[in-house]
Chain A
Protein backbone atom coordinates (compact mmCIF):
# COMPACT_ATOMS: atom_id res chain seq x y z
CA UNK A 1 0.00 0.00 0.00
CA UNK A 2 1.31 3.44 -0.84
CA UNK A 3 1.27 5.85 2.06
CA UNK A 4 0.79 9.51 1.15
CA UNK A 5 2.87 12.08 2.99
CA UNK A 6 1.23 13.76 5.96
CA UNK A 7 3.92 16.41 5.99
CA UNK A 8 3.76 18.10 2.61
CA UNK A 9 6.89 17.40 0.62
CA UNK A 10 8.75 14.20 1.28
CA UNK A 11 12.36 13.36 0.51
CA UNK A 12 14.24 10.05 0.62
CA UNK A 13 18.02 10.08 1.21
CA UNK A 14 19.66 6.91 -0.04
CA UNK A 15 23.18 6.89 1.40
CA UNK A 16 25.11 4.38 3.47
CA UNK A 17 26.83 7.12 5.51
CA UNK A 18 24.76 7.93 8.61
CA UNK A 19 26.41 11.32 9.08
CA UNK A 20 25.62 12.42 5.55
CA UNK A 21 22.01 11.24 5.95
CA UNK A 22 21.71 13.21 9.18
CA UNK A 23 23.16 16.40 7.70
CA UNK A 24 20.95 16.25 4.59
CA UNK A 25 17.90 15.52 6.72
CA UNK A 26 18.46 18.44 9.07
CA UNK A 27 19.30 20.77 6.20
CA UNK A 28 16.14 20.14 4.20
CA UNK A 29 13.77 19.70 7.16
CA UNK A 30 14.41 23.39 7.74
CA UNK A 31 12.69 24.16 4.41
CA UNK A 32 9.69 21.97 5.09
CA UNK A 33 10.59 18.50 3.86
CA UNK A 34 9.84 15.35 5.77
CA UNK A 35 12.90 13.11 5.34
CA UNK A 36 13.32 9.35 5.37
CA UNK A 37 16.64 7.62 5.06
CA UNK A 38 17.79 4.36 3.52
CA UNK A 39 21.27 2.88 3.80
CA UNK A 40 20.90 0.15 1.18
CA UNK A 41 19.18 -0.60 -2.11
CA UNK A 42 16.81 -3.02 -0.39
CA UNK A 43 15.72 -0.49 2.19
CA UNK A 44 15.35 2.19 -0.49
CA UNK A 45 13.19 -0.09 -2.64
CA UNK A 46 11.00 -0.85 0.36
CA UNK A 47 10.63 2.84 1.17
CA UNK A 48 9.67 3.64 -2.43
CA UNK A 49 7.05 0.91 -2.38
CA UNK A 50 5.57 2.15 0.88
CA UNK A 51 5.50 5.92 0.48
CA UNK A 52 5.20 8.67 -2.12
CA UNK A 53 8.31 10.82 -2.41
CA UNK A 54 8.76 14.18 -4.09
CA UNK A 55 12.55 13.87 -4.15
CA UNK A 56 15.11 11.07 -3.98
CA UNK A 57 18.70 12.03 -3.12
CA UNK A 58 20.76 9.12 -4.37
CA UNK A 59 24.37 8.32 -3.49
CA UNK A 60 26.07 6.33 -6.23
CA UNK A 61 28.26 4.25 -3.88
CA UNK A 62 26.34 2.21 -1.32
CA UNK A 63 28.99 -0.06 0.17
CA UNK A 64 29.32 -2.88 -2.31
CA UNK A 65 26.25 -1.83 -4.32
CA UNK A 66 25.85 0.95 -6.87
CA UNK A 67 23.06 3.44 -6.30
CA UNK A 68 22.58 3.63 -10.05
CA UNK A 69 20.74 0.29 -9.79
CA UNK A 70 17.96 2.13 -7.99
CA UNK A 71 17.07 4.33 -10.96
CA UNK A 72 14.81 1.68 -12.49
CA UNK A 73 13.03 1.27 -9.15
CA UNK A 74 12.54 5.03 -8.94
CA UNK A 75 11.19 5.06 -12.48
CA UNK A 76 8.66 2.36 -11.63
CA UNK A 77 7.60 4.00 -8.38
CA UNK A 78 4.16 5.59 -8.36
CA UNK A 79 5.24 8.96 -7.06
CA UNK A 80 7.44 10.22 -9.95
CA UNK A 81 10.06 11.81 -7.66
CA UNK A 82 12.72 14.24 -8.77
CA UNK A 83 16.20 12.69 -8.54
CA UNK A 84 19.33 14.39 -7.21
CA UNK A 85 22.52 12.41 -7.74
CA UNK A 86 25.29 12.73 -5.14
CA UNK A 87 28.73 11.13 -5.20
CA UNK A 88 32.36 11.48 -4.29
CA UNK A 89 33.20 10.07 -7.71
CA UNK A 90 34.30 12.55 -10.33
CA UNK A 91 32.04 14.96 -12.14
CA UNK A 92 31.88 12.84 -15.31
CA UNK A 93 30.37 9.93 -13.38
CA UNK A 94 27.79 12.18 -11.73
CA UNK A 95 26.73 13.84 -14.96
CA UNK A 96 26.67 10.52 -16.87
CA UNK A 97 24.33 9.14 -14.19
CA UNK A 98 22.13 12.23 -14.37
CA UNK A 99 21.92 11.82 -18.15
CA UNK A 100 21.07 8.14 -17.78
CA UNK A 101 18.30 9.01 -15.34
CA UNK A 102 16.89 11.55 -17.80
CA UNK A 103 17.09 8.99 -20.60
CA UNK A 104 15.01 6.69 -18.39
CA UNK A 105 12.37 9.41 -18.26
CA UNK A 106 13.13 10.61 -14.74
CA UNK A 107 13.14 14.25 -13.71
CA UNK A 108 16.64 15.18 -12.56
CA UNK A 109 17.25 18.35 -10.57
CA UNK A 110 21.05 18.03 -10.63
CA UNK A 111 24.17 16.24 -9.45
CA UNK A 112 26.26 17.26 -6.43
CA UNK A 113 29.68 16.34 -5.11
CA UNK A 114 30.00 14.87 -1.61
CA UNK A 115 30.13 16.01 1.09
CA UNK A 116 26.88 17.60 -0.03
CA UNK A 117 26.70 21.37 0.27
CA UNK A 118 23.36 22.03 1.95
CA UNK A 119 23.11 25.40 0.22
CA UNK A 120 23.59 23.80 -3.20
CA UNK A 121 21.03 21.11 -2.35
CA UNK A 122 18.45 23.66 -1.25
CA UNK A 123 19.05 25.66 -4.43
CA UNK A 124 18.26 22.54 -6.49
CA UNK A 125 15.16 21.82 -4.41
CA UNK A 126 13.87 25.33 -4.98
CA UNK A 127 14.24 24.98 -8.73
CA UNK A 128 12.99 21.46 -9.34
CA UNK A 129 11.91 20.40 -12.83
CA UNK A 130 8.14 20.43 -13.23
CA UNK A 131 6.12 17.26 -13.22
CA UNK A 132 5.24 16.22 -16.73
CA UNK A 133 1.52 16.11 -17.28
CA UNK A 134 0.52 12.66 -18.42
CA UNK A 135 -2.69 12.24 -20.36
CA UNK A 136 -4.86 9.14 -20.36
CA UNK A 137 -2.83 6.18 -21.51
CA UNK A 138 -3.41 5.11 -25.07
CA UNK A 139 -2.29 2.06 -26.94
CA UNK A 140 0.04 3.00 -29.76
CA UNK A 141 -0.52 1.15 -32.99
CA UNK A 142 2.27 1.77 -35.49
CA UNK A 143 0.98 3.00 -38.85
CA UNK A 144 1.34 0.79 -41.89
CA UNK A 145 3.12 1.72 -45.11
CA UNK A 146 -0.26 1.41 -46.89
CA UNK A 147 -1.86 3.96 -44.54
CA UNK A 148 1.07 6.32 -45.07
CA UNK A 149 0.84 5.91 -48.84
CA UNK A 150 -2.85 6.86 -48.72
CA UNK A 151 -2.01 9.88 -46.56
CA UNK A 152 0.71 11.04 -48.95
CA UNK A 153 -1.56 10.53 -51.96
CA UNK A 154 -4.35 12.47 -50.25
CA UNK A 155 -1.89 15.25 -49.33
CA UNK A 156 -2.77 14.81 -45.66
CA UNK A 157 0.69 15.42 -44.28
CA UNK A 158 1.01 19.09 -43.58
CA UNK A 159 3.74 21.50 -42.53
CA UNK A 160 3.77 23.19 -39.15
CA UNK A 161 6.18 26.07 -38.68
CA UNK A 162 8.56 26.69 -35.80
CA UNK A 163 10.27 30.09 -35.60
CA UNK A 164 14.04 30.61 -35.69
CA UNK A 165 14.98 33.74 -33.77
CA UNK A 166 18.14 35.88 -33.77
CA UNK A 167 19.75 35.57 -30.35
CA UNK A 168 21.33 39.00 -30.78
CA UNK A 169 18.21 41.11 -31.32
CA UNK A 170 15.24 38.75 -31.03
CA UNK A 171 14.14 39.22 -34.64
CA UNK A 172 12.57 36.30 -36.51
CA UNK A 173 15.01 35.24 -39.20
CA UNK A 174 13.04 32.28 -40.55
CA UNK A 175 10.98 29.24 -39.70
CA UNK A 176 11.48 25.50 -39.98
CA UNK A 177 8.73 23.48 -41.63
CA UNK A 178 8.02 20.30 -39.67
CA UNK A 179 5.89 17.54 -41.18
CA UNK A 180 2.80 16.58 -39.21
CA UNK A 181 0.47 13.66 -39.90
CA UNK A 182 -2.88 13.64 -38.14
CA UNK A 183 -4.81 10.62 -39.46
CA UNK A 184 -7.85 11.55 -37.35
CA UNK A 185 -8.82 14.69 -35.46
CA UNK A 186 -6.99 14.70 -32.12
CA UNK A 187 -4.53 11.98 -33.06
CA UNK A 188 -1.12 12.34 -34.59
CA UNK A 189 1.75 10.16 -35.72
CA UNK A 190 5.18 11.39 -34.67
CA UNK A 191 7.59 12.29 -37.49
CA UNK A 192 10.26 10.00 -36.02
CA UNK A 193 7.80 7.20 -36.80
CA UNK A 194 6.45 8.13 -40.22
CA UNK A 195 9.59 9.66 -41.81
CA UNK A 196 11.63 6.42 -41.50
CA UNK A 197 8.54 4.56 -42.72
CA UNK A 198 8.35 6.87 -45.73
CA UNK A 199 12.04 6.23 -46.43
CA UNK A 200 11.53 2.47 -46.24
CA UNK A 201 8.36 2.53 -48.34
CA UNK A 202 9.87 4.64 -51.13
CA UNK A 203 7.55 7.55 -50.36
CA UNK A 204 10.11 10.03 -49.11
CA UNK A 205 10.68 11.74 -52.49
CA UNK A 206 7.01 12.47 -52.94
CA UNK A 207 6.55 13.52 -49.33
CA UNK A 208 9.54 15.89 -49.56
CA UNK A 209 8.12 17.42 -52.74
CA UNK A 210 4.75 18.00 -51.03
CA UNK A 211 6.34 19.56 -47.97
CA UNK A 212 8.49 21.77 -50.16
CA UNK A 213 5.52 22.93 -52.23
CA UNK A 214 3.28 23.65 -49.24
CA UNK A 215 6.07 25.38 -47.32
CA UNK A 216 6.93 27.62 -50.28
CA UNK A 217 3.26 28.49 -50.76
CA UNK A 218 3.02 29.57 -47.14
CA UNK A 219 6.34 31.42 -47.31
CA UNK A 220 5.16 33.42 -50.32
CA UNK A 221 2.08 34.50 -48.35
CA UNK A 222 3.89 35.57 -45.16
CA UNK A 223 6.66 37.31 -47.10
CA UNK A 224 4.13 39.96 -48.15
CA UNK A 225 4.15 41.08 -44.51
CA UNK A 226 7.50 39.70 -43.31
CA UNK A 227 9.79 39.95 -46.34
CA UNK A 228 12.97 38.57 -44.77
CA UNK A 229 11.41 35.49 -43.21
CA UNK A 230 12.50 32.38 -45.11
CA UNK A 231 11.59 28.74 -44.65
CA UNK A 232 13.72 25.69 -43.90
CA UNK A 233 12.61 22.35 -45.28
CA UNK A 234 14.04 18.98 -44.23
CA UNK A 235 15.57 16.95 -47.02
CA UNK A 236 16.13 13.25 -46.44
CA UNK A 237 19.54 11.86 -47.46
CA UNK A 238 17.68 9.41 -49.69
CA UNK A 239 16.42 12.28 -51.82
CA UNK A 240 19.98 13.43 -52.39
CA UNK A 241 20.51 10.50 -54.73
CA UNK A 242 18.34 12.30 -57.29
CA UNK A 243 20.63 14.32 -59.59
CA UNK A 244 17.59 16.34 -60.72
CA UNK A 245 16.91 17.71 -57.23
CA UNK A 246 18.63 21.13 -57.68
CA UNK A 247 16.59 21.88 -60.79
CA UNK A 248 13.38 20.66 -59.14
CA UNK A 249 13.95 22.95 -56.18
CA UNK A 250 14.88 25.86 -58.45
CA UNK A 251 11.66 25.32 -60.41
CA UNK A 252 9.60 25.15 -57.20
CA UNK A 253 11.07 28.47 -56.06
CA UNK A 254 10.28 30.02 -59.45
CA UNK A 255 6.71 28.66 -59.34
CA UNK A 256 6.20 30.53 -56.08
CA UNK A 257 7.98 33.71 -57.19
CA UNK A 258 10.61 33.24 -54.51
CA UNK A 259 14.37 33.69 -54.77
CA UNK A 260 16.79 31.04 -53.53
CA UNK A 261 17.46 33.09 -50.39
CA UNK A 262 13.95 32.21 -49.17
CA UNK A 263 14.87 28.55 -48.70
CA UNK A 264 17.16 26.62 -46.40
CA UNK A 265 17.57 22.91 -47.11
CA UNK A 266 18.11 21.10 -43.80
CA UNK A 267 19.96 17.84 -44.17
CA UNK A 268 19.89 15.22 -41.41
CA UNK A 269 21.90 12.11 -41.94
CA UNK A 270 19.28 9.93 -40.33
CA UNK A 271 20.42 7.23 -42.69
CA UNK A 272 23.77 6.77 -44.36
CA UNK A 273 24.08 8.61 -47.65
CA UNK A 274 24.23 5.81 -50.19
CA UNK A 275 26.20 7.66 -52.80
CA UNK A 276 28.24 10.44 -51.18
CA UNK A 277 29.63 11.65 -54.51
CA UNK A 278 26.18 12.26 -56.03
CA UNK A 279 24.97 13.83 -52.77
CA UNK A 280 28.00 16.15 -52.69
CA UNK A 281 27.33 17.19 -56.28
CA UNK A 282 23.60 17.76 -55.66
CA UNK A 283 24.21 19.84 -52.55
CA UNK A 284 27.04 21.84 -54.10
CA UNK A 285 24.83 22.69 -57.06
CA UNK A 286 22.09 23.82 -54.69
CA UNK A 287 24.56 26.11 -52.91
CA UNK A 288 25.71 27.50 -56.25
CA UNK A 289 22.08 28.24 -57.08
CA UNK A 290 21.88 30.29 -53.85
CA UNK A 291 19.98 27.91 -51.57
CA UNK A 292 21.37 27.75 -48.02
CA UNK A 293 22.29 24.34 -46.66
CA UNK A 294 21.97 23.41 -43.03
CA UNK A 295 23.38 20.35 -41.29
CA UNK A 296 20.57 19.37 -38.90
CA UNK A 297 20.79 17.54 -35.54
CA UNK A 298 24.56 18.03 -35.55
CA UNK A 299 26.33 15.69 -33.15
CA UNK A 300 23.84 12.83 -33.47
CA UNK A 301 23.45 9.86 -35.81
CA UNK A 302 25.56 10.29 -38.91
CA UNK A 303 25.53 14.11 -38.77
CA UNK A 304 29.22 14.09 -38.15
CA UNK A 305 32.43 16.04 -38.62
CA UNK A 306 33.12 14.06 -41.78
CA UNK A 307 29.78 15.15 -43.29
CA UNK A 308 30.62 18.72 -42.35
CA UNK A 309 33.96 18.42 -44.09
CA UNK A 310 32.57 16.83 -47.24
CA UNK A 311 29.52 18.96 -47.91
CA UNK A 312 29.19 22.74 -48.46
CA UNK A 313 26.95 23.68 -45.53
CA UNK A 314 26.24 27.30 -44.65
CA UNK A 315 24.50 26.60 -41.33
CA UNK A 316 24.97 24.16 -38.46
CA UNK A 317 22.13 23.21 -36.10
CA UNK A 318 23.20 21.89 -32.71
CA UNK A 319 20.93 19.08 -31.64
CA UNK A 320 18.49 19.65 -28.78
CA UNK A 321 20.00 16.78 -26.79
CA UNK A 322 23.05 18.99 -26.15
CA UNK A 323 21.23 22.31 -25.85
CA UNK A 324 18.29 21.40 -23.62
CA UNK A 325 20.31 20.75 -20.46
CA UNK A 326 23.42 22.80 -21.13
CA UNK A 327 22.75 24.99 -18.08
CA UNK A 328 22.79 21.98 -15.75
CA UNK A 329 25.11 19.58 -17.57
CA UNK A 330 28.68 20.96 -17.67
CA UNK A 331 29.83 18.42 -20.23
CA UNK A 332 26.97 19.15 -22.62
CA UNK A 333 27.82 22.84 -22.25
CA UNK A 334 31.49 22.20 -23.14
CA UNK A 335 30.40 20.34 -26.28
CA UNK A 336 27.99 23.13 -27.23
CA UNK A 337 30.65 25.83 -26.77
CA UNK A 338 33.24 23.84 -28.72
CA UNK A 339 30.72 23.24 -31.53
CA UNK A 340 29.84 26.93 -31.73
CA UNK A 341 33.52 27.86 -31.79
CA UNK A 342 34.22 25.34 -34.55
CA UNK A 343 31.22 26.45 -36.62
CA UNK A 344 32.30 30.07 -36.39
CA UNK A 345 35.83 29.13 -37.46
CA UNK A 346 34.24 27.48 -40.49
CA UNK A 347 32.16 30.57 -41.20
CA UNK A 348 28.82 28.83 -40.57
CA UNK A 349 25.72 30.35 -39.04
CA UNK A 350 24.96 28.46 -35.80
CA UNK A 351 21.42 27.53 -34.74
CA UNK A 352 20.71 26.00 -31.32
CA UNK A 353 17.65 23.75 -31.25
CA UNK A 354 15.57 22.94 -28.17
CA UNK A 355 15.93 26.23 -26.25
CA UNK A 356 13.35 26.23 -23.48
CA UNK A 357 14.57 28.82 -20.98
CA UNK A 358 15.87 32.42 -21.10
CA UNK A 359 18.94 31.28 -19.12
CA UNK A 360 19.99 28.86 -21.85
CA UNK A 361 19.27 31.47 -24.54
CA UNK A 362 21.51 34.00 -22.77
CA UNK A 363 24.32 31.47 -22.31
CA UNK A 364 24.22 30.63 -26.00
CA UNK A 365 24.11 34.27 -27.08
CA UNK A 366 27.10 35.07 -24.87
CA UNK A 367 29.26 32.44 -26.56
CA UNK A 368 28.38 33.60 -30.06
CA UNK A 369 25.47 31.40 -31.13
CA UNK A 370 23.56 33.26 -33.85
CA UNK A 371 20.06 31.78 -33.86
CA UNK A 372 17.77 30.00 -31.41
CA UNK A 373 14.85 27.66 -31.94
CA UNK A 374 12.66 26.02 -29.32
CA UNK A 375 9.63 26.29 -27.09
CA UNK A 376 10.98 29.44 -25.44
CA UNK A 377 10.07 31.23 -28.67
CA UNK A 378 7.28 29.10 -30.07
CA UNK A 379 6.15 25.55 -30.76
CA UNK A 380 5.48 24.31 -34.27
CA UNK A 381 2.30 26.07 -35.41
CA UNK A 382 -0.05 26.40 -38.35
CA UNK A 383 0.47 29.13 -40.93
CA UNK A 384 -2.34 31.24 -39.42
CA UNK A 385 -0.96 30.85 -35.92
CA UNK A 386 2.49 31.75 -37.18
CA UNK A 387 1.20 34.94 -38.81
CA UNK A 388 -0.51 35.95 -35.56
CA UNK A 389 2.61 35.08 -33.57
CA UNK A 390 4.89 37.12 -35.85
CA UNK A 391 2.47 40.06 -35.88
CA UNK A 392 2.28 40.09 -32.08
CA UNK A 393 6.06 39.92 -31.85
CA UNK A 394 6.44 42.78 -34.32
CA UNK A 395 4.05 44.90 -32.21
CA UNK A 396 6.04 44.09 -29.04
CA UNK A 397 9.30 45.00 -30.77
CA UNK A 398 7.84 48.31 -31.91
Chain B
Protein backbone atom coordinates (compact mmCIF):
# COMPACT_ATOMS: atom_id res chain seq x y z
CA UNK B 1 0.00 0.00 0.00
CA UNK B 2 2.78 2.38 0.98
CA UNK B 3 4.63 1.48 -2.22
CA UNK B 4 1.66 2.40 -4.41
CA UNK B 5 1.21 5.72 -2.62
CA UNK B 6 4.84 6.58 -3.27
CA UNK B 7 4.68 5.47 -6.86
CA UNK B 8 1.30 6.78 -7.91
CA UNK B 9 0.07 9.41 -5.45
CA UNK B 10 -3.10 9.64 -3.36
CA UNK B 11 -6.14 7.44 -3.92
CA UNK B 12 -8.53 10.39 -4.34
CA UNK B 13 -7.91 14.07 -5.01
CA UNK B 14 -10.66 15.47 -2.79
CA UNK B 15 -10.09 19.07 -3.93
CA UNK B 16 -10.52 18.07 -7.59
CA UNK B 17 -13.76 16.25 -6.87
CA UNK B 18 -15.14 19.12 -4.75
CA UNK B 19 -14.37 21.54 -7.58
CA UNK B 20 -16.06 19.24 -10.08
CA UNK B 21 -19.16 18.98 -7.90
CA UNK B 22 -19.24 22.75 -7.63
CA UNK B 23 -18.96 23.12 -11.43
CA UNK B 24 -21.46 20.48 -12.58
CA UNK B 25 -23.41 19.59 -9.41
CA UNK B 26 -23.18 16.68 -7.00
CA UNK B 27 -25.91 14.75 -8.85
CA UNK B 28 -23.84 14.76 -12.06
CA UNK B 29 -20.74 13.62 -10.20
CA UNK B 30 -22.70 10.73 -8.68
CA UNK B 31 -24.11 9.91 -12.15
CA UNK B 32 -20.54 9.83 -13.50
CA UNK B 33 -19.45 7.59 -10.62
CA UNK B 34 -22.24 5.15 -11.49
CA UNK B 35 -20.92 4.91 -15.07
CA UNK B 36 -17.44 4.35 -13.67
CA UNK B 37 -18.56 1.65 -11.23
CA UNK B 38 -20.36 -0.24 -14.00
CA UNK B 39 -17.45 0.12 -16.43
CA UNK B 40 -14.43 -0.66 -14.28
CA UNK B 41 -15.05 -4.37 -13.48
CA UNK B 42 -15.73 -5.09 -17.16
CA UNK B 43 -12.61 -3.28 -18.33
CA UNK B 44 -10.37 -4.82 -15.68
CA UNK B 45 -11.61 -8.28 -16.63
CA UNK B 46 -10.88 -7.45 -20.27
CA UNK B 47 -7.43 -6.18 -19.32
CA UNK B 48 -6.66 -9.44 -17.44
CA UNK B 49 -7.76 -11.39 -20.45
CA UNK B 50 -5.57 -9.34 -22.81
CA UNK B 51 -2.62 -9.74 -20.43
CA UNK B 52 -3.08 -13.50 -20.22
CA UNK B 53 -3.38 -13.79 -24.00
CA UNK B 54 -0.57 -11.35 -24.77
CA UNK B 55 -2.83 -9.00 -26.75
CA UNK B 56 -0.75 -5.90 -26.19
CA UNK B 57 -2.75 -3.55 -28.44
CA UNK B 58 -6.06 -4.29 -26.74
CA UNK B 59 -4.39 -4.17 -23.36
CA UNK B 60 -3.09 -0.69 -24.15
CA UNK B 61 -6.56 0.40 -25.21
CA UNK B 62 -8.19 -0.90 -22.02
CA UNK B 63 -5.50 0.70 -19.84
CA UNK B 64 -5.94 4.01 -21.71
CA UNK B 65 -9.73 3.92 -21.12
CA UNK B 66 -9.31 3.13 -17.42
CA UNK B 67 -6.70 5.86 -16.94
CA UNK B 68 -8.96 8.46 -18.54
CA UNK B 69 -12.05 7.41 -16.64
CA UNK B 70 -10.23 7.40 -13.30
CA UNK B 71 -8.64 10.82 -13.79
CA UNK B 72 -12.03 12.31 -14.67
CA UNK B 73 -13.11 11.54 -11.11
CA UNK B 74 -9.92 12.52 -9.31
CA UNK B 75 -8.76 8.92 -8.76
CA UNK B 76 -5.08 9.77 -9.01
CA UNK B 77 -3.54 6.47 -7.97
CA UNK B 78 -5.80 4.32 -10.15
CA UNK B 79 -5.33 6.65 -13.08
CA UNK B 80 -1.56 6.67 -12.78
CA UNK B 81 -1.37 2.88 -12.32
CA UNK B 82 -3.47 2.37 -15.44
CA UNK B 83 -1.37 4.92 -17.33
CA UNK B 84 1.81 3.09 -16.30
CA UNK B 85 0.35 -0.08 -17.84
CA UNK B 86 -0.61 1.84 -20.97
CA UNK B 87 2.96 3.15 -21.30
CA UNK B 88 4.47 -0.26 -20.56
CA UNK B 89 2.27 -1.86 -23.22
CA UNK B 90 3.42 0.75 -25.73
CA UNK B 91 6.95 -0.44 -24.94
CA UNK B 92 5.84 -4.03 -25.41
CA UNK B 93 6.27 -5.34 -21.84
CA UNK B 94 3.77 -5.36 -18.97
CA UNK B 95 4.56 -7.38 -15.87
CA UNK B 96 2.20 -9.18 -13.52
CA UNK B 97 3.04 -6.83 -10.63
CA UNK B 98 1.68 -3.86 -12.57
CA UNK B 99 -1.59 -5.66 -13.28
CA UNK B 100 -1.86 -6.62 -9.60
CA UNK B 101 -1.23 -2.99 -8.62
CA UNK B 102 -4.06 -1.96 -10.92
CA UNK B 103 -6.54 -4.30 -9.26
CA UNK B 104 -5.55 -3.03 -5.84
CA UNK B 105 -5.75 0.65 -6.81
CA UNK B 106 -9.15 0.02 -8.46
CA UNK B 107 -10.43 -1.47 -5.23
CA UNK B 108 -9.10 1.51 -3.27
CA UNK B 109 -10.60 3.92 -5.77
CA UNK B 110 -14.05 2.40 -5.74
CA UNK B 111 -14.01 2.38 -1.95
CA UNK B 112 -13.00 6.06 -1.88
CA UNK B 113 -15.83 6.97 -4.26
CA UNK B 114 -18.32 5.07 -2.11
CA UNK B 115 -17.11 7.07 0.90
CA UNK B 116 -17.44 10.37 -0.99
CA UNK B 117 -20.96 9.48 -2.13
CA UNK B 118 -22.06 8.50 1.36
CA UNK B 119 -20.74 11.75 2.73
CA UNK B 120 -22.35 13.93 0.04
CA UNK B 121 -25.68 12.12 -0.12
CA UNK B 122 -26.13 12.47 3.61
CA UNK B 123 -24.73 16.02 3.65
Interfacial residues, chain A to chain B (CB-CB below 8 A): 16-20, 22-23, 26-27, 30, 61, 63-64, 88, 114-115, 117-119
Contacts and interface: CB of A to CB of B under 8 A. Distances in A.
Given A19-B73, A22-B35, 10 more contacts: A18-B35, A19-B32, A19-B72, A22-B32, A23-B72, A27-B24, A64-B61, A114-B71, A115-B72, A118-B23
Nearest to A20: B72
A27 B23 contact: yes
25 contacts: A17-B69, A19-B32, A19-B73, A20-B68, A20-B72, A22-B28, A22-B31, A22-B35, A23-B72, A26-B28, A27-B24, A30-B24, A61-B64, A63-B61, A63-B64, A63-B65, A64-B61, A88-B68, A114-B71, A114-B72, A115-B72, A117-B23, A118-B23, A118-B24, A119-B23
Q: Interface size for chain B: under 10, 10 to 19, 20 to 34, or 35 or more residues? A: 10 to 19
A174 to B, nearest CB: 49
Interface string B49-82: 0000000000001001100110111000000000
A64 B65 CA distance: 11
Nearest to B68: A17
A128 to B, nearest CB: 19
A115 to B, nearest CB: 5
Nearest to A121: B23
A337 B31 CA distance: 45
B115 interface: no
Contacts of B20: 23, 118
Contacts of A16: 65
The 8 closest A-B pairs by CB, nearest first: A118-B23, A26-B28, A26-B24, A19-B72, A17-B68, A19-B32, A115-B72, A27-B24
A325 B49 CA distance: 47
B48 interface: no
A139 B5 CA distance: 64
A27 B20 CA distance: 9
B40 to A, nearest CB: 11
Given A17-B69, A18-B35, A114-B71, A23 B24 contact: yes
Contacts of A26: 24-25, 28
B23 A115 contact: no
Contacts of B16: 115
A17 B65 CA distance: 7
Contacts of A64: 61
A20 B72 CA distance: 6
Interface of B: 16, 20, 23-25, 28, 31-32, 35-36, 39, 61, 64-65, 68-69, 71-73
A119 B24 CA distance: 10
A27 B72 CA distance: 14
Nearest to B64: A61
Contacts of B35: 18-19, 22
A118 to B, nearest CB: 4
A344 B97 CA distance: 56
A246 B107 CA distance: 79
B47 to A, nearest CB: 15
Nearest to A64: B61
A115 B68 CA distance: 8
B32 A23 contact: yes
Nearest to B32: A19
A86 to B, nearest CB: 11
Q: Among A17, A19, A117, A118, find the residue whose CB has the most chain B CB atoms closer than 10 A.
A: A19
B24 A115 contact: no
A19 B64 contact: no
A114 to B, nearest CB: 7
B35 to A, nearest CB: 6
Contact of B72 (A17, A30, A61, A119): A17
B28 A115 contact: no
A118 B23 CA distance: 6
Contacts of B24: 23, 26-27, 30, 118
A64 B73 CA distance: 23
Nearest to A22: B32
B13 to A, nearest CB: 10
A115 B31 contact: no
Contacts of A22: 28, 31-32, 35
A97 B43 CA distance: 30
Contacts of B31: 22
A119 B21 CA distance: 12
Nearest to A61: B64
A23 B22 CA distance: 12
A369 B55 CA distance: 56
A23 B36 CA distance: 13
B71 A115 contact: yes
Contacts of B65: 16-17, 63
A156 B65 CA distance: 63
